[in-house]
């Protein structure tokens, strides 16, 4: 369902500061999947330049939406080489939305906040990280790796795929999987000096509603991040019919575990590993435990902080991308064949600590007592607990202490903790990652469905036509409106608060600055609308948009309403 909105005649063109793009190649043919990063070295030859845009070459399907981040090595680090697997050596310069334009075509990334580079910085390494789209680049041959103009000297470079282990949708750019030499395909747009005009952009924000997900996850890439977020926290999961209602809150304390006996007899499928590292134990239950989708007469306990209704270890060791059962991965969590609960971390019970089990009435209680991260040892120990109540079906995960040091694993550039739950089989990836350190309640549900999604392409440059599309419609006869506002919204205002819409639906645009509705989203592939009367001039204007859809055949129109994510857009000449 699309609406074509023409911006012709909405404003007067204005002159932009002259730009001098430095372009390398747009020839491919090599590349990586989403999450890939391309490294370059670069020196600024004038006092300062300010970058407001880059164009990249993407091998993703035309129209695929993603984000691009540009990183710079820290002071004193002149080259990317030597820092490619160390996240601590990098600082983020800018990030922007991108829509794949097709092989060997410029896919434009505009930075809402342009960043300034100076000659005083000297040579630096840069990493161009692709999230949600794949980078396309050229193999280096010694003759195609240096690019210069009066302001910039650039040397390319290398490329690396996102880590197949601790992934956040392809966002884990610094690890050991490097291909060298590789030549960045793209253009760097800038002005000379310490400022640059903002270029046009279009990016999504805020949640859409109408979706349902059976899984959730919270990935913390290092123990230093995990420790304050998990220590003293608790997740309670209560059956709600199809899945769970999840409550994140402070922990009142663990079930006493001093009298619990250690689990023994760990299995392993990892060649060369000790019998108690990266293994699992099948634990029979006195009282069968009901879970969404079945009843478990035993639970499989993996010493890396996972409990499942049947073994997932063989799958975790072989899932596409190079999996291992000791290596937390959101991709693997969402695809594992058997229902499982996760406090997944690379732990080592061969060093010290143990996993204990006891049954107290209807509770089956599993406690990791003083277990270190692999290679960490004392005193960096973690203690946490799972409880399964066979009477109610409630599952609780609680963390007494989570160590903050850990030993970085080069596969991760850290040593992540992955907390979450997923029913067995392939699950949709939730649009938003859960932050278990925030007090909140939310529902999981199956069957799964994606949120109502509003997208726009291309960027709203002056005189262009924007294609607005609404996807993931539900209902028998969906019908809706496309709203816009010229005021920065107060995001995520719950519509249920005023008795409108389905649970989770929010207002993502400001009614006070309303310039719509000016477009009906009727059933059918395309609807053209003249928007010349919306405002006298949109050049340089920020505006915010959102779609709202109702089912015309629903018994109650207002309760059938679903609202989309928001769009933040700016119209410029470039």
Give the tens place of pLDDT for each residue, 147-192. Answer: 999 999 999 999 987 665 556 555 567 776 789 999 999 999 999 9
**pLDDT digit string (tens) for 226-239?**
999 999 999 999 99
Higher-confidence residue of 501 and 405: namely 405
State whether residue 238 is helix, strand or coil. Answer: strand
- Using the predicted structure, report yes or no on whether residue 18 has a pLDDT greater than 50: no
- Find the mean pLDDT for residues 551-558: 83
State both tokens at 265. 């007899």
Domains and CATH numbers, the chain: 19-196 (2.60.120.820), 216-443 (no CATH), 451-570 (no CATH)
Query: Could you write out the DSSP letters of every residue in 140-158?
Result: --SSSSEEE-SSEEEEEEE
**pLDDT digit string (tens) for 334-347?**
999 999 999 999 98
Pairing state of beta strands 354-360 and 363-372?
Answer: antiparallel
- Using the predicted structure, report yes or no on whether residue 248 has a pLDDT greater than 90: yes
Higher-confidence residue of 215 and 36: namely 215
Beta bridge partners of residue 146, listed in sequence order: 155
Place of tokens 């072989």: 318
Higher-confidence residue of 79 and 326: namely 79
Query: Residue 531: its pLDDT value, please?
Result: 39
Cβ–Cβ under 8 Å, residues 136 and 59: yes
pTM over 0.85: no
Query: Residue 88: its pLDDT value, please?
Result: 83
Instruction: List Cβ neighbours of 509 (8 Å cut-off, separation of 6 or more).
Output: 483, 484, 485, 489, 544, 545, 546, 566
Higher-confidence residue of 103 and 268: namely 103
pLDDT grade for 525, boundaries at 50, 70 and 90: very low
pLDDT grade for 14, boundaries at 50, 70 and 90: very low
For the four alpha carbons of 95, 101, 104 and 110, in that order, the dihedral sign comes to: negative
Name the nearest CA neighbour of 53 among 91, 95, 15: 95
Pairing state of beta strands 363-372 and 478-485?
Answer: unpaired
Cβ–Cβ under 8 Å, residues 56 and 135: yes
**pLDDT digit string (tens) for 296-310?**
999 999 999 999 999
Q: 10 Å Cβ neighbour count for 379?
A: 10
- Using the predicted structure, report yes or no on whether residue 569 has a pLDDT greater than 90: no
- Using the predicted structure, report yes or no on whether residue 534 has a pLDDT greater than 90: no
Question: Which of 87-91, 243-247, 469-473, 492-496 is predicted most confidently?
Answer: 243-247
Beta bridge partners of residue 421, listed in sequence order: 216, 341
Q: How far apart are the first and last CA of the chain?
A: 27
State whether residue 557 is helix, strand or coil. Answer: helix
Query: Residue 273: its pLDDT value, please?
Result: 38
Name the nearest CA neighbour of 36 among 57, 55, 54: 57
Which of 455-470 are b and which e, b meaning 16 or more Cβ less than 10 Å from the residue's Cβ?
A: bbbebbbbeeebebbb
- Using the predicted structure, report yes or no on whether residue 197 has a pLDDT greater than 50: yes
- Using the predicted structure, report yes or no on whether residue 378 has a pLDDT greater than 50: yes
Report the distance separating Cα 359 and Cα 255, nearest Å. Answer: 11
82: left (phi over 0), alpha (psi -120 to 50) or beta: left
Measure Cα distances from 568 to 416, 488, 504, 510, 544 in Å: 33, 9, 20, 12, 5
């Amino acid at each position: 369902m699309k609406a074509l909105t023409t911006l012709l005649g909405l404003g007067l063109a204005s002159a932009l500061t002259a730009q001098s793009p430095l372009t390398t190649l747009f020839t491919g043919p090599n590349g990586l999947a989403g999450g890939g990063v391309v490294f370059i070295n670069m020196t600024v030859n004038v006092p300062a330049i300010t970058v407001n845009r880059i164009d990249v070459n993407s091998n993703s399907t035309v129209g695929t939406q993603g984000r691009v981040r540009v990183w710079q090595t820290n002071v004193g680090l002149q080259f990317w080489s030597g820092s490619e697997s160390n996240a601590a050596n990098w600082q983020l310069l800018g990030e922007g939305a991108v829509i794949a334009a097709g092989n060997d075509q410029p896919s434009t990334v505009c930075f809402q906040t342009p960043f300034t580079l100076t000659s005083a910085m000297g040579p630096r390494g840069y990493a161009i990280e692709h999230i949600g789209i794949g980078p396309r680049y050229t193999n280096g041959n010694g003759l195609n790796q240096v690019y210069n103009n009066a302001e910039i000297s650039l040397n390319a470079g290398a490329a690396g795929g996102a880590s197949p282990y601790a992934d956040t949708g392809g966002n884990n750019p610094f690890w050991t999987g490097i291909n060298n030499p590789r030549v960045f395909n793209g253009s760097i747009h800038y002005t000379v000096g310490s400022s640059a005009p903002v270029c046009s952009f279009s990016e999504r924000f805020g949640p859409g509603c109408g979706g349902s997900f059976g899984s959730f996850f919270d990935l913390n890439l290092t123990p230093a991040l995990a420790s304050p977020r998990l220590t003293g926290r608790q997740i309670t999961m209560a059956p709600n019919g199809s899945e769970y209602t999840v409550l994140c809150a402070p922990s009142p304390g663990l079930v006493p575990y001093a009298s619990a006996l250690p689990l023994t007899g760990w299995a392993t499928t990892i060649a060369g590993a000790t019998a108690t590292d990266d293994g699992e134990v099948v634990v029979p239950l006195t009282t069968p435990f009901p879970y969404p989708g079945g009843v478990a007469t035993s639970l499989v306990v993996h010493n890396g902080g996972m409990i499942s209704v049947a073994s997932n270890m063989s799958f975790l060791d072989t899932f596409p991308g190079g999996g291992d059962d000791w290596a937390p991965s959101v991709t693997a969590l969402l695809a594992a064949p058997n229902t499982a609960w996760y406090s997944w971390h690379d732990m080592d019970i061969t060093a010290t600590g143990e996993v204990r089990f006891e049954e107290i009435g209807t509770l089956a209680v599993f406690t990791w007592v003083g277990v270190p991260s692999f290679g960490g040892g004392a005193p960096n120990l973690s203690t946490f607990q799972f409880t399964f109540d066979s009477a109610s079906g409630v599952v609780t995960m609680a963390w007494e202490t989570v160590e903050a040091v850990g030993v970085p694993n080069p596969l991760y550039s850290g040593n992540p903790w992955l907390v979450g739950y997923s029913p067995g089989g392939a699950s949709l990836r939730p649009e938003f990652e859960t932050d278990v350190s925030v007090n909140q309640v939310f529902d999981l549900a199956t069957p799964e469905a994606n949120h109502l999604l509003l997208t726009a392409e291309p960027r709203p440059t002056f005189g262009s036509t924007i294609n607005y599309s609404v996807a993931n419609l539900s209902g028998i006869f969906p019908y809706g409106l496309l709203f816009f506002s010229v005021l920065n919204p107060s995001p995520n205002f719950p519509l249920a608060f005023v008795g409108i819409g389905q649970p989770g639906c929010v207002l993502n645009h400001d009614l006070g600055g309303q310039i719509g509705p000016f477009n009906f989203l009727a059933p059918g592939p395309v609807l053209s609308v003249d928007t010349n009367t919306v405002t006298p001039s949109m050049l340089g204007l920020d505006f915010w948009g959102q779609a709202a859809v109702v089912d015309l055949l629903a018994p109650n129109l207002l309760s059938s309403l679903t609202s989309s994510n928001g769009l933040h857009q700016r119209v410029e000449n470039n």
